[in-house]
Amino acid sequence: MSASVVSTKQVTKVYQMGDVEVHALRGVSMDIKQGEVLAIMGPSGSGKSTMMNILGALDRPTSGDYFLDGESVADMDDEQLADIRNRKVGFVFQSFNLLPRSSALNNVELPLRYGSYKGKQRRDMAAEALEAVGLGDRMDHRPSELSGGQQQRVAIARALVNNPAIVMADEPTGNLDTKSGDEVMELLLELNKERGTTLIIITHDSEISEQARRVVHIRDGLLEEQQ
């Protein structure tokens, strides 16, 4: 049995909105195994974005424990969170989040600039990641010179370039037409199969979630069911 790459125990998140306490997560415990494809589903306001922020080390829980690839995240300060996020997490967002004036290669290189990689090594790693997503011939193109599907492939290459413990994909096909969306999902699942990348997809789209191996539903800050 493969080890848990993500493990949360009774994770809560409380936001203070003026005089009101908003309980976004109410004691979530879950384990995600190495190489799993997991979809997190839930309606707007269910807590799924909060869950993504905590799993992706963008935020820390109010209480509870969170271990990412064996490291305890819950009590990290902002600097430590930024460090583990850069080493262990790749992000793919609905809006691509690419630098508009930079080439595909420079966009993919970006996470490596925070590590100890030298210039040529960074370029080689970025080029290899772009080859892996089928964009070896588009490395010098800027985002405006690429289709939506190609831009999302650049974002996937950027997410994978560090060989992270987990890839968080937040509505990864939300801004794409059906054909491009299907191709992006196919690519993510192929990379999961080939590389053993642990893939966590946040989505409200049941067609997307059906392609995951396990689906977790969040409602009112609680895990409702697991399949």
Tens-place pLDDT, residues 3-26: 899 999 999 999 999 999 999 999
Would you state the pLDDT for residue 206? 87
Terminal C-alpha separation, the chain: 18
Find the mean pLDDT for residues 74-102. 93
- The domain spanning residue 170 has which CATH number? 3.40.50.300
The pLDDT value recorded for residue 2 is: 66
The DSSP secondary structure of 183-201, one letter per residue, reads HHHHHHHHHHHHH--EEEE
**150 is a domain residue:** no
Q: Is the pLDDT of residue 192 over 90?
A: yes
62: containing domain? 4-99+156-226
- Each residue's pLDDT tens digit, 149-174: 999 999 999 999 999 999 999 999 98
Integer Cα distance of 139 and 175 in angstroms: 22
DSSP E strands in 52-152: the ranges are 63-68, 71-72, 89-93
Distances 85 to 23, 68, 80, 82, 111 between C-alpha atoms, Å: 24, 10, 8, 5, 10
Q: How many domains does the chain have?
A: 1
CB 16 within 8 A of CB 179: no
Round to whole Å and give the CA distance between 158 and 161: 5
**Across the chain, what does the average pLDDT equal?**
92
Smallest Cα–Cα separation from 35: which of 9, 6, 11, 13?
6
Residue 93 located in a structural domain: yes
Instruction: Look at strands 166-170 and 198-203 and give their pairing.
Output: parallel
Q: Please compute the mean of the pLDDT values over residues 76-88 and round it to a whole number.
A: 92
Region 199-225: mean pLDDT is 90
Q: How high is the pLDDT of residue 119?
A: 87
* Residue 128 maps to a domain: no
pLDDT at 225: 65
Q: Looking at the domain assignment, is residue 90 inside a domain?
A: yes
Predicted structure pTM score? 0.91
Cβ(133)–Cβ(187) below 8 Å: yes
Runs of H (alpha helix) within the chain? 48-55, 78-88, 104-109, 119-132, 148-160, 178-195, 206-209
Query: Is residue 200 included in any domain, yes or no?
Result: yes
Residue 182 is assigned to a structural domain of this protein: yes
Domain contains 179: yes
For 96-147, how does the pLDDT look when each residue is reduced to its tens digit (9 = 90+)?
999 999 999 999 999 998 877 888 999 999 999 999 999 999 999 999 999 9
Cα–Cα distance, 156 to 115 (Å, whole number) = 19
What is the rounded CA–CA span in Å between residue 59 and residue 57?
A: 5
What per-residue confidence (pLDDT) applies to 212? Answer: 93
- Answer yes or no: is 110 within a domain: no
